[in-house]
Structures are given as structure tokens and as C-alpha cells.
Amino acid sequence: MRPVTATVARPDMTTLRMYAAVAAAEFRRYATYRQAMVAAMFTNSVFGFLRCFVLLAVAGGAAGGAAAGYPRDRLATYVWIGQGLLGTVNIWSPPELAERIRTGDVVADLLRPVNPVMAYLAADLGRFGYAAVTRLVIPIAVGAVAFDLYAPAHPVTYPLFVGSVLCATVVCFACRYLVNATAYWLLDSRGPQIGWVAVSSALSGMAFPLAFLPAPLTTALYLATPLPYLIQVPADVLVERHPPATMAAMVAGQVAWAAVMLAAARLVQRRAERRVVIQGG
């Protein structure tokens, strides 16, 4: 029944290939949901127009036509990037993991010889790959048709932006993992989920640029929370809010937060496995 007994694994390459295969499968899964993507893009564009009009009205009322230091074209760009990042970084991802924990389906994840955090991360990066070529690009294109958008002046901005979006996705993944993992203890994670949606939309730069807030609050958010690294930082990178060196430092900040939050997710997962009961017969 086991025709070949030696199952020797060379860890490094095979591990990478395994994560790549998981990511590719998730990419294909998302690619099968085209209708969902189209529907999301439609809603996303409607809200893009609304937010753009509101923020441009704010800028129109401000002295010099710039709101919190964002001139009109950068503000419009900020909005449409934000619309693109919403579905790419995926700050409002459906609580799939929490649901699997509640129903006990999470056993299937635990029965595999992989760390569940890393397996879910690989899958999320596969989803990211699909979103990057659809949900990130389309809103920017829609915005570019309807408004004057800002084109980056420094070539280095482009690679920096790609890196920044990727980091934002990892940070966001880890935050969402932690929120979902509360289901291990609470079973019903709706409270934390709602809290996350509120906090992440208000304080990540999603609803408005954080520069609109009082400076001490903004500084506190940057230093003590991962929130600005989800939307604000990648959007600022693309609209070149600061000189390239400063923006590079912010992306480095994202890398640090990604490491911290992933470590936290792994720690919580390990605790959950030792303490917590998998539901269902």
C-alpha cells in the first residue's frame, strides 16, 4: 500500500514550493468568482466617487485648495488608491477562519503538517496576487478616467509602492488572523469583528487621510498601532507625500509591523491549540 517507503524531504525548496502551490490554488479559486469581483468593483467605484467628491469639497474650502497638505490631484489619487487597496489589502475580509473555528472545520487545517498561520498566509498571498491585477488596478483606472490623478515623479516610487502594498497585505492578514482567532475562546467572534471594521476603517487612512486628525493622535497611531500601515502608508507612497527616503523608512516600518503581528498570530495560534476545544463530533 505504501509502494515507496522513503519519503525524504529537502526542507527549503519543497517548503517554498508547497507555499507556492497553496498560493496558486487560492489564486485559481478567486479567479473562478468573476461575478463577485465585478459586483465588488461596481460598489467600490460608486463609493470612490462619493469619497472623492467629499474630500475635494473639503480641499476646495481649505486655504490654497490643499487639505492637510494634499493638493487636489493628490487627494483624488489618494481616494482611488484607497479604493483599490481596500480589496487588495483586504481589510474587510470575510471571517472565514472564525467560521471554521466555530463549526470545528478548522480540524482539517490542524491535521496538516504545516503551521496554520503560514498556510493561511500563503493562501492570502495567492488571493493578493489575483486582487493586485484586478481589484487594485481597476479603481485606479476608473479614477483616472473621471479625475485628474497625480503621476509619481520619482521612478523609485513604483517598486516602493509594490513593496508597500505587499507589506500592508501581510500586516492586515496578521491583524485579521488575530481577530478571527478570538473565536477559539469566544466561539462567537462578532464583537471583535465589528470592532475591527470600525477601528480599521476610521484609523487606517481608509475613510480619510490621517493627517486630518490632530498631530499627537496621528503620531500615536503610527508608533503604537499597525493601522496606518494598512492604507495610509502605501497610499502616501504612491502620491509621494514625503521624499523617497522618508517613504522608504515607512515601508521599513511596515516590515517591522508585519514581523511583529505575524509572530503574535503564531503565538496566539499555539496557545489556542493547547487550551482550546475543537468543536463538533
Partner 1 sequence: MTVIDVRGLRKDFTVRVKAGRFRREARTVAAVDGVDLAVEAGEMLGYIGPNGAGKSTTLKMLTGVLYPSAGHVRVCGLEPVPRRTRLARRIGVVFGQRSQLWWDLPLRESFELLRHVYRVPATDHRTRLKWYRDLLDLDAFADLPVRQLSLGQRMRGELTAALLHGPEVLFLDEPTIGLDVVSKQAVRGFLADLRDAGDTTVVLTTHDLADIERLCRRLVVIDHGRVVHDGTLERLHERYGSRRRVVVDLDEPLATPVDLPGATVESVSADGLRISYALDSATAGALVARLAAVASLRDISVVEPDIEDVVARLYRA
Ligand X SMILES: Nc1ncnc2c1ncn2[C@@H]1O[C@H](COP(=O)(O)OP(=O)(O)OP(=O)(O)O)[C@@H](O)[C@H]1O
SS3 1: coil
Question: Which residue from 4, 153, 215, 277 is in contact with ligand X, where contact means CB under 6 A?
Answer: 277
By a kind-dependent CB cut-off of 5 to 8 A, residue 105 interacts, out of Mg ion, partner 1, ligand X, none, with partner 1
Residue of 110, 146, 217, 249 that binds partner 1 (CB under 8 A) = 110
Q: To the nearest whole angstrom, how small is the minimum distance from the Cβ of residue 279 to ligand X?
A: 5
279 binds ligand X (CB under 6 A): yes
Stretch that binds ligand X, among 43-51, 92-100, 157-165, 273-281 (CB under 6 A): 273-281
DSSP label at residue 136: T
The option from Mg ion, ligand X, partner 1, none interacting with 154 (CB < 5 to 8 A, set by class) reads: none
Cα angle 28, 190, 112 (rounded to 5 degrees) comes to 45
Give the list of residues 6+ apart from residue 204 with CB closer than 8 angstroms, or none.
Answer: 91, 227, 228, 230, 231, 232
Burial of 32 (0-12, 13-18, 19+ CB in 10 A): exposed
Task: List, in sequence order, every residue forming a beta bridge with 70; answer none if it has no partner.
Answer: 67
Nearer to partner 1, 25 or 57 (CB): 25
Q: Does 276 bind ligand X (CB under 6 A)?
A: no
Look at residue 113 and give the partner it binds from Mg ion, ligand X, partner 1, none, a contact being a CB closer than 5 to 8 Å depending on partner kind: partner 1
C-beta of 265: minimal distance to ligand X in Å?
23
Q: Where are the alpha helices (DSSP H) in the chain?
A: 11-31, 34-61, 72-85, 96-103, 107-110, 116-133, 137-146, 157-186, 190-203, 215-224, 232-238, 244-275
Contact residues: ligand X, CB under 6 A = 277, 279, 281
